[in-house]
Structure 1
Amino acid sequence: MSQLLPQGVGASIALGTGGYPLPVPIDLPDLDNTQLRRRALQTARVVGRNFAPIFAKKLLRKELPEKAGIRPLRKSFEELGATYVKFGQLLSSSPGVFGEDVAEEFRTCLDAGPPVPFWKIRKIVERDLGRPLEEIYPEFSPEPIAAASIAVVHKAVLFDGRQVAVKVLRPGIESTVAADLDLMEPIFTLLARQIGVGLAGPLLQLLEGFREQVAEEMDFRNEMRTMLHHRRMMERVHLPYVVIPEPYEEFSGRHILTMEFLDGVPIDDLSGIEEFDVDPRPIVEEVVKAWFITTIRNGTFHGDVHAGNLMLLRDGRMGVIDWGIVGRLSPDAHQFMRWVIEAALGDESAWEKIANHLRTIYGAGVVESLGLTESEMTDLIRQQIEPLLTQPFGQVSLATMFMGPQDKLGEAQAERISRQSPAQVIRSWRNIRKVRNIAADHGGTGSDFDRGTFLIGKQLLYFERYGKMFLSDVSLLEDEEFFRDLLEQEPIE
């Protein structure tokens, strides 16, 4: 079996920081040569067709724009669907990693898919739950209320009258994902000359964290435990506006998740919110506070707070749904985030700690290539973060608080890479990959990708958008007392 074991998991059910249930290992199916060859040929046809004009111009030695391969890559992702669409979504939310032009191109890469025939849905439900569908749900809508690349969601009713949402894993998706994860790395390496080593390098690095994300999403028991854990956390803090749907364990399994149905509209549906006659400002403020409470106190957070996953309910609360992606900060990343907030709140010593942390991550050589002394490096970081304490959402980039300093160092790192030939870069990637594989074989993570920090930057981009919509005259750290108190709190058990 091809096992994808997320970082830090040593048992099928383990507890992490603050009692957080770590994901179970994911066993993707072993693929025979026929299955892998079929997906490889399909992938080669799609990529070849979309990149044909670029290949032709390369053969004729014609000049090409620096990022001519971005659009063909996006079109290929959309045609291949499933795994590639989800990967494209990560690119769309990562302007600090790939540049705004790449992020903008991939924002059209929507995580959507066709409905699944109802007889297949019935088969999955009955196989996972061990009894006929009608014995579980007296009412079950054959048409989905949502259809994404990996799962579909149907509305149903339990025998006690509770309305539920039933999330079902797409049939056959595990084999497709297993094949795609095997093929992505060689494809990105081969395309390095067409899309540029500056884009191919981050793609390969992002792929490391993406493996972990997909591994967790393919087993709905992970999502169920996450929802139960965060519901318990919310019960211990007074945030009455925030609601997480209740999952029903007796009607859930690896491929199916039955949960409380929440009736509402997405947070960016301004006309729908107006019909509810509810003031969204205090609700949005409370959701942001809830996110920071779990992040600062426990180092875990909802990893995909796009508008579709934050729903304003008819009763004036905010429903936080779709817990398939959850960020877990490493001890170093968790401490880094605390330092950032401490610094923004006026702790002078925290600035130097932040600078030292970034120097350790990127290496002295990369920092020196910026042409800054240690004190100038600290000042640069301070200039990017400190204004966020007083400036309102409408005037700042919230993601800068965590990603801004790293973007500067990333640019310096990219500059060093650009001085190497494509062959040298590819050879370096392969050598690094060999080292990671050896580390993974001997119990290490096999990856240097900091998925937690990456997901934080992604969520802050979402919160920045909501802040500009509803709280444009308020800064993130407007409530200094809340954040000072938060830094003193123990993890929520």
Structure 2
Amino acid sequence: MRLLRLAKILRVTLRHGLEEFFLGHARFRWLQRLARALLFWRTLSKPRGVRLRLAIEDLGPIFVKFGQMLSTRRDLIPLDIADELAKLQDQVPPFAPQIVQQVVFLAYGQYPQKVFAEFDPIPVASASVAQVHFARLPDGTEVAVKILRPGIGAIIENDLALLDAAALLLEKLWSDGKRLKPREVVAEFAKHVHKELDLIQEASNCSQLRRNFLDSPLLAVPEVYWDYCREQVMVMQRMHGVPVSQVGRLRELGVDIPKLARDGVQIFFTQVFRDGFFHADMHPGNILVEAEGPHAGRYIALDFGIMGTLNDTDKNYLARNFLAFFRRDYKEVALAHIESGWAPADTPPDEFESAIRAVCEPIFDKPLKDISFGRVLLRLFQTSRRFGVEIQPQLVMLQKTLLNIEGLGRDLDPELDLWKTARPYLERWMSEQLGWRGALETLQKEAPMWGKLLPQLPRLLHGQLARSQSDHLLEIEALLIAQERRENRRLAVIAWLLFLILAVQLAPTVWLLATTR
């Protein structure tokens, strides 16, 4: 099976002229020329980025998903390739209704007709890992049922093994292979794909995000019905809305589009800085908008397989950097990088500040339509590489989400001023974290621990003093034992010396007595 898959990959690679990526090293140029001579019949009129995208689409959904992830790593791949890979669409034919029946039976021990009051065998959406069906629970509740593709685990493992082999070849044979670290990219991709194979994990992500935005006027998240969730099946509340990409229809329904764009920015920063837990796959296919009822204009989040997390250190560092950017305080940005250890300690702050200013200054006071975050990120990564700044793995998903937000905002309101929209929220958040509100909140969080610790403090202090006294006595005992051993060794040496002296003195007498006999 794997050999047949490898043969297909080689065939697609040669048909689209991708050998230039593998044979780009100077030592193999002759082999690249030989391949072109043997494949004289093919026509390679398209740019390399287009040919790579077409090849990935030919290779199937797992390679498409990898290409989508790779398009966000503008720190690693050339811009022309990243722009082309961003166009990849994960459109996969659904699997047959009979297979759906089998998967549901394996999960519940019953067929869908017995588990649900109604079950639509025709999926409403189909992707590389799973597909979604609408259904109704026995109590009449409308639900969406996400079903994992059967056998997808083995397919993914095979493709990941082949991707890793291809990355190894790329690393060895391409001139830029080592710098781009393709095997690390594949490992990162594999980590996220494996998480998508467990729908219980996705259900827990959904449940957490819903709890974070419960009763929010900005974002609605479906409820998870845990009694019906399995590793292969996830059942959640059916959400009604209009795809966010249908801007014309939203306008017809009276949705305030500029407000929708601003709300999107606020949702993003709320997830990142308030919660440290954010939806990391916010492309238009995963977002609906409520068009009717009391919450018209509210976002609806779908598909929770890929989520990002940040700890308090990451959040504080990012907020400090964002605010410094908004205030055009590039020296603060440079110092934040150096003090956090992301940039080497010997980095000249003035030179670093000047380089950052050259990247960021041209984009201020411009609407979103005149800004390309992709190009800004690329220039920032180039600057980072020049100064030896380490790319932080935990921020890769944030970078991917930022690019999703850019595309979404550009579609909704190209006149959106991202800086003016985000700055008040970040300033308020920093004030809450570092001001009296932050101190009060921290005290409230720590109060239960202090309440439990204070009554125990005398006993703990007495125990510590007793242990210290015991440790001190043990140290004295150890010193005395060591001293005693040194004295014993000294006495032993003296005894041997006395024995030798006596032996020397008595040797002639002993010899004389022996001879006279």
Structure 1 and Structure 2 fold alike (TM over 0.5):
yes
Aligned-pair Cα RMSD in Å: 3.6
Distance 1:48 1:213, change over 3 A: same
| 1:126 aligns to 2:105 (yes or no) | yes
Where does residue 322 of structure 1 map in the other structure? Answer: 303
Where does residue 396 of structure 1 map in the other structure? Answer: 371
Where does residue 460 of structure 1 map in the other structure? Answer: 402
Aligned residues of 1:205 and 1:449 also touching (Cα < 8 A): no
Where does residue 486 of structure 1 map in the other structure? Answer: 429
| 1:43 aligns to 2:24 (yes or no) | no
Aligned residues of 1:337 and 1:402 also touching (Cα < 8 A): no
The more displaced of 333-342 and 348-357 is: 348-357
Would you say how many aligned residue pairs link Structure 1 and Structure 2? 416
Q: 1:322 Cα deviation (Å)?
A: 1.0
Distance 1:104 1:399, change over 3 A: closer
Q: 1:229 Cα deviation (Å)?
A: 0.8
Q: Which residue, out of 346, 355, 360, partners 2:337?
A: 355
Where does residue 180 of structure 1 map in the other structure? Answer: 159
| 1:83 aligns to 2:62 (yes or no) | yes
Aligned residues of 2:147 and 2:234 also touching (Cα < 8 A): yes
Where does residue 230 of structure 2 map in the other structure? Answer: 253
Q: 1:394 Cα deviation (Å)?
A: 3.4
- Taking the aligned partners of 2:72 and 2:400, their CA distance within structure 1 comes to 6
Q: 1:180 Cα deviation (Å)?
A: 1.6
Q: 1:460 Cα deviation (Å)?
A: 1.6
- Amino acid corresponding to residue 405 of structure 1 in structure 2: L
Q: Secondary structure at the match of 1:98?
A: coil
Q: Secondary structure at the match of 2:213?
A: helix
Q: 1:388 Cα deviation (Å)?
A: 6.5
Q: Which residue, out of 315, 321, 329, partners 1:340?
A: 321
Where does residue 277 of structure 1 map in the other structure? Answer: 254
Q: 1:121 Cα deviation (Å)?
A: 0.9
| 1:301 aligns to 2:278 (yes or no) | yes
Aligned residues of 1:384 and 1:405 also touching (Cα < 8 A): yes
- Amino acid corresponding to residue 34 of structure 2 in structure 1: L
The more displaced of 337-346 and 48-57 is: 48-57
Aligned residues of 1:399 and 1:460 also touching (Cα < 8 A): no
Where does residue 135 of structure 2 map in the other structure? Answer: 156
Aligned residues of 1:221 and 1:252 also touching (Cα < 8 A): yes
Where does residue 351 of structure 2 map in the other structure? Answer: 376
Aligned residues of 1:388 and 1:477 also touching (Cα < 8 A): no
Q: 1:303 Cα deviation (Å)?
A: 0.3
Distance 1:205 1:335, change over 3 A: farther
Distance 1:101 1:364, change over 3 A: farther
- Taking the aligned partners of 2:383 and 2:154, their CA distance within structure 1 comes to 39
Q: Which residue, out of 190, 196, 212, partners 1:217?
A: 196
Distance 1:386 1:254, change over 3 A: farther
Q: 1:455 Cα deviation (Å)?
A: 1.8
Q: 1:217 Cα deviation (Å)?
A: 0.7
Q: Secondary structure at the match of 1:257?
A: strand
- Amino acid corresponding to residue 460 of structure 1 in structure 2: L
Where does residue 241 of structure 2 map in the other structure? Answer: 264
- Taking the aligned partners of 1:116 and 1:102, their CA distance within structure 2 comes to 31
- Amino acid corresponding to residue 353 of structure 1 in structure 2: L
Q: 1:468 Cα deviation (Å)?
A: 3.1
Distance 1:114 1:449, change over 3 A: farther
Highest CA radius of gyration, 1 or 2?
A: 2
Q: 1:43 Cα deviation (Å)?
A: 3.4
| 1:207 aligns to 2:186 (yes or no) | yes
- Taking the aligned partners of 2:235 and 2:223, their CA distance within structure 1 comes to 9
Q: 1:390 Cα deviation (Å)?
A: 5.0
Q: Secondary structure at the match of 2:420?
A: coil
Q: 1:234 Cα deviation (Å)?
A: 1.0
Distance 1:314 1:346, change over 3 A: closer
- Taking the aligned partners of 1:184 and 1:475, their CA distance within structure 2 comes to 40
- Taking the aligned partners of 2:377 and 2:14, their CA distance within structure 1 comes to 38
The more displaced of 112-121 and 456-465 is: 456-465
Where does residue 515 of structure 2 map in the other structure? Answer: none
- Amino acid corresponding to residue 99 of structure 1 in structure 2: P
> C-alpha deviations, 1:247-272, integer Å up to 9, x for none?
21111111111112222222221222
- Taking the aligned partners of 2:332 and 2:387, their CA distance within structure 1 comes to 24
Distance 1:311 1:195, change over 3 A: farther
Q: Write the mapping of 1:57-76 to structure 2, written as runs, cut at 5 A.
A: 57-59=32-34, 70-76=49-55
Q: Write the mapping of 1:385-424 to structure 2, written as runs, cut at 5 A.
A: 385=360, 390-398=365-373, 404-410=379-385
Q: Secondary structure at the match of 1:301?
A: strand
Aligned residues of 1:77 and 1:85 also touching (Cα < 8 A): yes
Q: Write the mapping of 1:435-450 to structure 2, written as runs, cut at 5 A.
A: 450=392
Distance 1:60 1:465, change over 3 A: closer
- Amino acid corresponding to residue 456 of structure 1 in structure 2: L
> C-alpha deviations, 1:119-176, integer Å up to 9, x for none?
1111111212333311222222221111111111112222222222211111111001
- Amino acid corresponding to residue 320 of structure 1 in structure 2: A
Distance 1:223 1:296, change over 3 A: same
Distance 1:482 1:363, change over 3 A: closer
Higher percent of residues as helix: 2
- Amino acid corresponding to residue 244 of structure 1 in structure 2: V
- Amino acid corresponding to residue 208 of structure 2 in structure 1: H
- Taking the aligned partners of 1:41 and 1:397, their CA distance within structure 2 comes to 39
Q: Which residue, out of 131, 145, 160, partners 2:124?
A: 145
Distance 1:477 1:188, change over 3 A: same
- Amino acid corresponding to residue 466 of structure 1 in structure 2: L
Unmatched tracts of structure 1, length 5 or more? 1-34, 368-372, 415-447
- Taking the aligned partners of 1:101 and 1:111, their CA distance within structure 2 comes to 20
Aligned residues of 2:286 and 2:303 also touching (Cα < 8 A): yes
> C-alpha deviations, 1:84-129, integer Å up to 9, x for none?
1100112334445423310233234321211101111111112123
Q: Secondary structure at the match of 2:230?
A: coil
- Taking the aligned partners of 1:272 and 1:177, their CA distance within structure 2 comes to 38
- Amino acid corresponding to residue 409 of structure 1 in structure 2: S
Aligned residues of 1:390 and 1:478 also touching (Cα < 8 A): no
- Taking the aligned partners of 2:72 and 2:333, their CA distance within structure 1 comes to 27
